[in-house]
Amino acid sequence: MNWREIVEKYRDKIINDTVEFIGIPSKNDEANATTMAPYGPALRDALDYMMDKAKKDGFVTKEYDGHAGRLEYGTKGDVIGVVCHLDVVPEQKEGWDTQPYKGVIHDGAIYGRGSNDNKGPTIAVYYALRALIDQGLRPKNTLHMIFGCDEETKMRCMDYYKEHTDVMPVRGFVPDATFPINYGEQGIATLAMKCTLPQSITSFKAGEHAHIVAQDAYATINSAPDNIEELFRFFLVQQNLKGEIDKIDDEYNIHVQGIAAHGSRPFQGKNAACALLSFLGACLSVEKVTEISRLIENWQGRGFDIQYKSMKTGELTLCVGNVELVDNVLNCTIDIRYPVDVDFEKMVDKMIAKGVSIDKNFEILVEENRLGSFEDPTTPYIVKLEEIYRKHSNDEKTPMKVSAGDTYARKFDGLVTYGPTTSEHLKMKHIGQAHMPNEGMDIETLMMGCAIYAEALAYLLDCE
């Protein structure tokens, strides 16, 4: 079957449904949670959107008290799982050329929060399944397409689902990363770092999400050299950054604008928090602040001397997200992605020892540690999924890998991440990637993904 031709007739529906879906601002809002909307009313709306669509098209559906839902196709054989998430990360305050929740089509792409991560791919898989049904194919296995509502925070939705479901999938995929295949995921730790700053720094705030490189950083200082404005302009030029400095009475308000990036790819961004700390340490001549900035500024973790690279499961990365000064205590959220063969406890101990040597009040608390996952890439179904991707894309170069990303795949044995983006998509400068301003999904890439998903489902379901 020519799946690319078959799914082409769903193009308008895929685009229109993705745009419509983006219009639901499904950010976590637990302040307004209810019993059947545990992550807030917008995520209840997003779950209803997919469940109502599935019911209207005749699928059997099950819901799990607002945490998750699923549609079912088939009643026999092995259970194949495709797991998608409906929640999105908050939009940045700066950097958007369109309204994040409008869904705008421009330059061959759909722009809006969730277009890539994960609403566009969810819709693509849905219509891939519709294509199988419309072709009259009969499955020997059963598909559970599962929708979760808490992927971007703590994945509690999948914990709830696993506790309450009647059966788990034995293999399948999560359409929430890159092609060809991510057959494993690194461990992910969220750490709370605390240290003291001098009283000359009266406020400091940076970042909007724990797992996004801090794009903007703001500080107020009550003591400064006479030439601080000249020093700041030189610093911005030297670091290729943007920013502003204003004097109000005896204080200076300073803003540094960096570049946001996904927490799994901090090397693609410029961390405003680290840059501003570095500037303050230098201009105020406070070595302690300079040393603190050096601890956290290197994305490989070299400041803490925890750098590590595994041939099997990738390289350690460090991302600074939210930063805030409270009563002269700097509270800093650090996202660390680490290879599965790293001794996590020893790594944290090493970080604490390094920090205490700078500040006796230095602390690191482990807020969350998600263990990594690994599936043998020579497993027949993984080999076949790779083959399907390469046939449709003509991409023979991009390797399968273990990902630094954080998806539902780590919650299920036998599941791998499979698209929707490609190495070429990641190079499209006019499109913001997942978690970034101007997040977008190239329409042709999404349509190719739909064809890939259709053929992959036909294979996994052993259709006849």
Q: Helices 41-56 & 119-134, crossing angle to 10 degrees? A: 10
Strand pairing class (216-221; 242-248)? unpaired
Q: Do residues 134 and 459 touch, judged by C-beta distance below 8 A?
A: no
Q: Is 404 helix (H, G, I), strand (E, B) or coil?
A: coil
| 438 φ/ψ sector (left φ>0, alpha ψ -120 to 50, else beta) | left
Is 151 part of the annotated catalytic residue set? yes
Residues in the chain: 464
Q: Pick the catalytic residue: 117, 151, 406, 439?
A: 151
Q: Do residues 139 and 77 touch, judged by C-beta distance below 8 A?
A: yes
What lies within 8 Å, CB to CB, of 409 at 6+ separation is: 83, 173, 174, 176, 182, 185, 373, 415, 416, 417
Q: What does the DSSP 8-state code read for residue 204?
A: E
Nearest to 378, CA basis, from 186, 184, 187: 184
CB atoms within 10 A of CB 199: 10
Is 87 part of the annotated catalytic residue set? yes
Torsion of CA 163, 164, 168, 169, to 10 degrees: -110
Catalytic residues: 87, 151
